[in-house]
Amino acid sequence: MGRGGKVCPIVYTMAKQRRKRDETIPVIVRLRGREVPFAALEAEGLAQTRELSLINSLAGDILVQALDSLAQQDWVEGIYPDAEVRTTMDVAVPAINADLGWRSGCKGKGINIAVVDTGIYPHPDLLNPESRLVAFHDVVGGRSKFYDDNGHGTHVAGAAAGNGWYLNDRYSGVAPEAGLVGVKVLDRTGRGRTSQVIEGIQWCVENQEKHQIRIINLSLGSPAYSGYEQDPFCQAVAKAWDSGIVVCCAAGNEGPDRESILTPGIQPRVITVGAMADKGTKERGDDEIASFSSRGPTIDKLTKPDVLAPGKDIVSLRVPRSYLDREQRSSRVERAYFSLSGTSMATGVCSGFVAVLLGRHPNWTPDTVKERIMRTAEDRGYEPAWQGKGYLNATSLLGYGC
């Protein structure tokens, strides 16, 4: 098997792991032109294609024996793995001082967050006193109504925008008046392909105006096999950012190992979020970086994460009889809530924080939002490759009118 410069090396590694040359591997093919050569693709052994117009690419399964031939075609820019993607508030809200913003009426009203994840369950805290579920798109099963057979996406959505209605505001998210758009890209076990997530991001960009999507939350990721300029995942989130959508990405749960930031969190423009452990107290003084939180630098030797947010033992929304609910019964809190840890939860907290900011400053661009958040983050004394600029802190943003 050759070593074509167009092919990401991990694709050849995947190919070698197949015992037979007539087996297939999932790939994303970047195209040179805008015209999709479907007939040529089929002839080159690429089957079950999915068009990813946002990044001028196609996803499909390629025969191992056809990989080199496909790489030699003039219309192929590059071939990358369609890698597996995995999922990565009672105390979290005061821990970042988000409740100070509430006193000025900043609760995210009028700002919609797209949670690209396992789906969103119609939980009482999202339906009462009136529904804040705006729209739903299902890449996995094609269903039209809100659901979440895993539970992860709903938990993240609650960290961002739950209002605590079921228990009189006890477990409220950071932006309890924000709207939510559910985009299901991962299955009931919390797994999916990069191409599915890109398709979900693409849908958000295409429906940005229709559903007033201002934020995309990506509490998921996969190992980074190439730099951000070549990585299809990174190219997709950059397109969303350029369209005016703030993108918040999980750093990953591969800590404390260095250089463990997941893609698309390696993309320099997006807000990449690591996790803090708030020790179950409202005071910030005893908080420390969570051991599981992925550390930088990135594969490109860039500083990431950008900021830290609470991500340890976050109490948020429970989905009865979901995959996580059955697998982690001990994590149930009261009847309607659930406790989970991870940079996934920290990312949801950050997305809610962004919604609070945009509710007060609707004209802020993604670049402005990120600059303000990073400028006012609290330096916790860790090296930048662990904490970025530091710990999210709403108090320091009060000078900007929120």
Of 353, 317, 393, the closest CA to residue 214 belongs to 353
Q: How many Å apart are CA 220 and CA 242, to the nearest integer?
A: 21
Residue 329: phi, psi to the nearest 5?
-60, -30
Q: For residue 108, how far is the Cα from the chain centroid?
A: 19
DSSP for 333-378? ETTTEEEE-SHHHHHHHHHHHHHHHHHH-TT--HHHHHHHHHHHPB
Establish how many alpha carbons lie within 13 A of residue 273's alpha carbon, considering only the half-sphere containing its beta carbon.
32
Cβ atoms of 287 and 95 closer than 8 Å: yes
Pairing of strands 112-117, 76-81: unpaired
Identified catalytic residue from 123, 152, 231, 322:
152
Length of the chain: 402
Q: Which strands form 314-317's sheet, in the order they lie side by side?
A: 314-317, 337-340, 332-333
Q: How many Å apart are CA 132 and CA 129, to the nearest integer?
A: 9
- Sign, CA dihedral 141-144-147-148, equals positive
Identified catalytic residue from 57, 82, 90, 117:
117
Structure tokens at 59: 């996803």
Q: How many Å apart are CA 182 and CA 228, to the nearest integer?
A: 26
Q: How many Å apart are CA 328 and CA 340, to the nearest integer?
A: 9
Residue 276 CB-density burial (10 A; 0-12 exposed, 13-18 middle, 19+ buried): buried
Active site residue 117: yes
Active site residue 344: yes
The Cα-based distances of 22 to 7, 65, 157, 183, 278 in angstroms read 19, 6, 42, 34, 51
Residue 310: phi, psi to the nearest 5?
-55, 130
Identified catalytic residue from 222, 316, 344, 351:
344
Catalytic residues: 117, 152, 344
